[in-house]
Structure 1
């Protein structure tokens, strides 16, 4: 007579029968439900955590790349005879052309930068001015987004583009005139007098980052050259590339195209510390949530140990009927594995649904709490999205199945080694 193949249909039937058994029949339905619900919640929590982590990093990087240069090219300082250090780029047009010719570069824009005190009526705030050509400003995704901006960007050549939080701080709107005061003004025989200029607010942008919207204002490039005494020169060149994640591969050709005095500052240089901290936090969070999955999986051991104890008579009968130790092991392994598998599947469904509707759930929680659950002034970005990634879901499923199936082997092995004579002695 041929020996049945491992994991035959009858093994699944016995395992399913034990899984559905009520306590009065010697089953452990309560422990089964506790184990299943525990694994379900642990897997769902792990998927939600990974999705929120991925969404936060994606939004954080998107706001950086969408409102800032991927690479900033500037010159080494040169000390003049008067002792002043100058970093200006006199031949910025030629340098910009050479940078634009580098393979992988999508945009090069000359900038004039400076700091001013902005005044409107009784309100004032410090701002960082970016002097940029209108056509270059229109190529910055997070700034020139008509869905988030207010006003008409085509009116920028005759005014300024102000960040949303800066406009709120000053209390200005489209058409208001803001006064700029710079300490580095006109040089006279009696020293340097402050430079004052008045500019109409033509556009109010929302970059998605609080620190940018709070401190940044864009001014037409030619006007910024006049205002900051930069006639005929630029302070730096901002460069956008095709693949910002691999910007370091373009460092050598960009430095060569920039000239002998050229220095580079990439977006990873400015945000690298925070991104590395996110990676460490990701690892720690995954380990912590994995412990939850492990604790939930441990409940399977409790349930199966009780089941093996209650089913000692059944095990003895099955062994006398010809079932091998391997068959008994597989029966009880399947019993625990089904709990882990069903709990994992339900956890994936709940976790994915929570991540998909995370924005609506967060809005509801924020409303129920009276606001302030996610403060952009504290967090840096205005929204906390959730981003489902297949790799994250797969890692959560793999971890849950590995732990729940692996732990199931312990009581299943004990059941398989039970002596049928001892099991039936007192029956």
Structure 2
């Protein structure tokens, strides 16, 4: 009761209420910034990993270079179908498909772009979540055997629509008596997809498996086996079984190998951002100390009277500790509410900022994904709340102990 009364002190009593409001607002803003930053970082990582796992193999099984009976070096997998069946039998493997990979120049009219071409069967293409399950897809994936599937980014660069015929040019094409001549084939665009990743949408094209074999001279076999697993985070645990299935010369390339450095950089950046914003919360919490020091000075007469009436040092300490704790708790709760509201509406907020800045606030070509997601996690909320409350409680101890040790005689001498 005493602590709550002191918190509602009037301006005539030393402006303590103003300092209290400053401390409360500072803590609320610090906690809000911490929660929003952690939510955005978590959402960005989740979205980025999801685009990797949803449109790329969790692990690619390939072969080291070997020499056939004609003395020709090759990295092809001759019995790719049999190997894919063996890999599918491994517990935890959800899909294994032989694929052909190559690069080609895609052209339409006077526009051209370099494309990464994947040869795959229709049944296997339909199991790729970010391709077959694209919300922004155009065309009919069931017609894949009649043409090609193309990313929305490269389709936009070439000005391609459903039904257009795109030329693919491959320099190492047909082998003739006069040398190797470029191979040029035209394919109808039957499906346009968006994988959610700027770099994938801008470069990827899918061709039917047999057509890709012919186009890239891969009749000897597949380039690799594309493997999806039930638990991508534990991809390393599948290594021994995959090596055993592939035999000698097997090479594994996991999604962590291709994106691990970037994800590690994100983790380091998360820790640094948390420390920086923790300092912001600490600075806001130190305002509680300033307010309590002023409060103790203004309430010296009250402390002396309460002590002479029998109030113990511990009781006085609790009074002023509760004054600071109330400020920290209320500020933290306000910050949590504000942070959650902003995090849950971050997409709309970024869209508004993008509109006001003419589309320059979020560049997919730099960040890889098309939007700024946010993911509220209990662990992040707990860290933010725990840090704020801990700092708020710690900074109240010094002025509260100072008040508790005040000599009542000295406090009342000049009253």
TM-score (norm 1): 0.96
Equivalent in 58, 62, 69 of residue 70 of structure 1 = 58
Alignment-derived partner of residue 179 in structure 1:
167
Equivalent in 316, 321, 332 of residue 344 of structure 1 = 332
Q: Give runs of aligned pairs for residues 9-408 of structure 1, distance below 5 A.
A: 13-26=1-14, 28-79=16-67, 85-231=73-219, 233-408=221-396
Q: Which runs of 5+ in 2 are unaligned?
A: none
Superposed displacement of residue 83, structure 1: 6.9
Give the number of equivalent residue pairs. Answer: 415
Alignment-derived partner of residue 8 in structure 1:
none
Deviations 1:380-407, CA, capped at 9 Å, x for gaps: 1111101100110010000000001111
3-state SS, counterpart of residue 414 of structure 2:
coil
For 1:387 and 1:83, how far apart are their aligned partners in 2?
55
Aligned 8 A contact 1:20 1:27 in 2 = no
Aligned 8 A contact 1:26 1:311 in 2 = no
Q: Which runs of 5+ in 1 are unaligned?
A: 1-12
Distance of aligned partners of 1:368 and 1:21 in 2 relative to their CA distance in 1, 3 Å threshold = same
**Residues 72-81 or 350-359, more deviating:** 72-81
3-state SS, counterpart of residue 108 of structure 1:
strand
For 2:192 and 2:138, how far apart are their aligned partners in 1?
5
Aligned 8 A contact 1:18 1:27 in 2 = no
3-state SS, counterpart of residue 143 of structure 1:
helix
Superposed displacement of residue 81, structure 1: 7.8
Superposed displacement of residue 84, structure 1: 5.0
Superposed displacement of residue 232, structure 1: 5.2
3-state SS, counterpart of residue 202 of structure 2:
helix
TM-score (norm 2): 0.98
Q: Give the superposed CA RMSD.
A: 1.1
Aligned 8 A contact 1:308 1:415 in 2 = yes
3-state SS, counterpart of residue 130 of structure 2:
coil
For 1:68 and 1:287, how far apart are their aligned partners in 2?
34
Superposed displacement of residue 78, structure 1: 1.4
Deviations 1:178-215, CA, capped at 9 Å, x for gaps: 01110111112221111110100011110011111111
Superposed displacement of residue 80, structure 1: 5.4
Superposed displacement of residue 241, structure 1: 0.2
